[in-house]
Amino acid sequence: MDVGSAELSSIIWSVAVDSTGTVFAGTDFRGVFRSTDDGTTWVPSNLTLERISCMLLTSRGTAFAGVWDKGIYRSTDGGFIWSPAGAAGHKVRSIVETPDGVLVAATDTTAQEGRIYRSSDGGTNWAHIGTGLASGVVYALVSVSPETLFAGTAGQGLYLSTNTGDVWTSSYLLVPSTVSTLVQAGRQGIFAGTLQGGGGILRTTDGGEHWFFEVSGLLNLDIRSLALGHDGRLYAGTGEGLYRSTDILTGLDVNGYLSSASALEVAAHPNPFNGETTLMYYNPKPGPVRLSAYDLRGRRIPILEESLHPPGSYRVRWVADNRASGVYVIVLEAAGGMRAEKILLLK
pLDDT score recorded for residue 151: 92
Which is more confident, 167 or 302? Answer: 167
Mean pLDDT for the stretch of residues 168-173: 80
CATH 2.60.40.10 describes domain 12-244:
no
pLDDT band at 72 (very low <50, low <70, confident <90, very high): very high
Q: Is the pLDDT of residue 335 over 80?
A: no
Q: How many CB atoms neighbour CB 29 within 10 A?
A: 13
Of residues 16 and 1, which shows the higher confidence score? 16
Lowest mean pLDDT among 62-76, 109-123, 270-284: 109-123
Q: Is the pLDDT of residue 252 over 70?
A: no
Amino acid 207 reads G
Q: What pLDDT sits at residue 232?
A: 66
Q: What is the pLDDT of residue 8?
A: 67
Mean per-residue pLDDT for 7-13? 73
| 3-state helix vs strand vs coil in the chain, percent to 5 | 0, 50, 50
Grade residue 259 by pLDDT with cuts at 50, 70 and 90.
very low
Distance (Å, whole) CA 266 – CA 275: 19
CA atoms within 13 Å, Cβ hemisphere of 134: 13
- Residues 44-52 have a mean pLDDT of 93
Which residue did the predictor score with more confidence, 164 or 250? 164
Highest-confidence segment of 22-26, 203-207, 339-343 = 22-26
Q: Which residue has the higher pLDDT, 59 or 143?
A: 143
Mean pLDDT computed over 227-244: 76
Residue 251 pLDDT exceeds 60: no
Specify the CATH class of 265-345 in words.
mainly beta
User: Max CA-CA distance within the chain?
Assistant: 64
Instruction: Give percent of the chain above pLDDT 70.
Output: 85
The Cα 266–Cα 321 span in angstroms is 21
256 — pLDDT class (breaks 50, 70, 90):
very low
Q: Judge whether residue 201 has pLDDT over 70.
A: yes
Whether residue 248 has pLDDT greater than 90: no
pTM over 0.85: no
What's the pLDDT at 67?
A: 93
DSSP, residue by residue, 225-287:
EEEE-TTSPEEEEETTEEEE-SS----B-TTS-B-S--S-EEEEESSSBSSEEEEEEEESS-E
Q: Where are the domains of the chain?
A: 12-244, 265-345
Instruction: Give residue 65's pLDDT.
Output: 96
Per-chain mean pLDDT for the chain: 80
Contact 169, 151 (CB under 8 A): no
Give residue 231's pLDDT band: very low, low, confident or very high (50, 70, 90).
Answer: low
- Please say whether the beta carbons of 259 and 26 come within 8 A: no
pLDDT at 255: 41
Query: Residue 217: its pLDDT value, please?
Result: 63
Residue 20 reports pLDDT greater than 50:
yes
pLDDT at 58 over 60: yes
Whether the per-residue pLDDT at 228 is higher than 70: the answer is yes
DSSP 8-state code for residue 188:
G
Which residue would you say has higher pLDDT here, 322 or 211?
A: 322
Digit-coded pLDDT (tens) for 108-142: 765 545 578 999 999 989 998 888 887 778 889 99
If pLDDT is split at 50, 70 and 90, which confidence band does 199 have?
low
Torsion sign across C-alpha atoms 155, 215, 224, 255: negative
Looking at per-residue pLDDT, the higher value among 239 and 82 belongs to 82
